[in-house]
Amino acid sequence: MNPPNDNYSACHGLWREHPVLVQLLGLSPLLAVTTTLANALGLGLVTLIVLLGSSVSCSLLRRQLNGALHLPMLLLIIAAWVTCAELLVRAYAYPLAQALGIFVPLIASNCVILNRAQTIATRHPIGTAALDATVIGSGFLALLLIVGAIRELFGRGSLFADMHLIFGDIARDWLWQPFDGDYTLLILSMPAGAFLLLGFLIALKNFLDSWLLPSSESPPEKPIAGSKRVRTTGKIN
Partner 1 sequence: MTVKTAPNRSQWLRLLGIALLIGTLVTTLEILTRERIVASQTSAALDYLRQVTGPDDQGAAITFENWPIPNRQLGLLGLSEGDEMHIALRAGQPIAAIVPSISNAGYGGAIQLLVGIDFTGRIIAVRVISHRETVGLGDKIEIAKSDWIEAFSKRSLSDPAAKYWAVKADGGIYDQFTGATITPRAVVNQVAATLQFFADERAALAARGTSQANPEARE
Minimum distance of partner 1 from residue 1's CB (angstroms): 6
Interaction between residue 87 and partner 1 (CB under 8 A): yes
Count of CB atoms situated within 10 Å of the CB of 86: 18
Count the Cβ atoms, other than its own, within 10 Å of residue 94.
11
- Binding to partner 1 by CB under 8 A, coded x per residue (else -) over 133-172, reads ----------------------------------------
Instruction: Write out the binding residues for partner 1, residues 13-72 only, by CB under 8 A.
Output: 32, 61, 64, 66-69, 72
129 counts as binding partner 1 under rule CB under 8 A: no
Considering only 28, 83, 134, 177, the residue that binds partner 1 (CB under 8 A) is 83
Q: Which of 88, 196, 203, 213 binds partner 1 (CB under 8 A)?
A: 88
Q: What is the 3-state secondary structure (H, E, C) of 32-73?
A: HHCCCHHHHHHHHHHHHHHHHHHHHHHHHCCCCCCCCCHHHH
Convert residues 191-230 into a mask of x (bound to partner 1 by CB under 8 A) and - (unbound): x---------------------------------------
Handedness of CA 77, 143, 138, 156 (dihedral sign): negative
Q: What is the DSSP letter of 226?
A: T
Residue selected from 76, 203, 204, 213 as contacting partner 1 according to rule CB under 8 A: 76
Q: Work out how close the CB of 7 gets to partner 1 at its nearest, in angstroms, rounded to a whole number.
A: 19
Phi, psi of 159, rounded to the nearest 5 degrees? -145, 145
Q: Which of 95, 128, 201, 209 binds partner 1 (CB under 8 A)?
A: 95
Long-range contacts of 196-205 (CB under 8 A, 24+ apart): 197/147, 197/150, 197/151, 198/20, 198/27, 198/30, 198/31, 198/147, 201/21, 201/143, 201/146, 201/147, 202/21, 205/15, 205/18, 205/21, 205/22
Q: Which residues contact 106 (CB under 8 A, 6 or more apart)?
A: 28, 29
91 is a site residue for partner 1 (CB under 8 A): yes
Size of the site for partner 1 (CB under 8 A): 28
Binding site for partner 1 (CB under 8 A): 1, 3, 32, 61, 64, 66-69, 72-73, 76-77, 80, 83-84, 87-88, 90-92, 94-95, 98, 101-102, 190-191
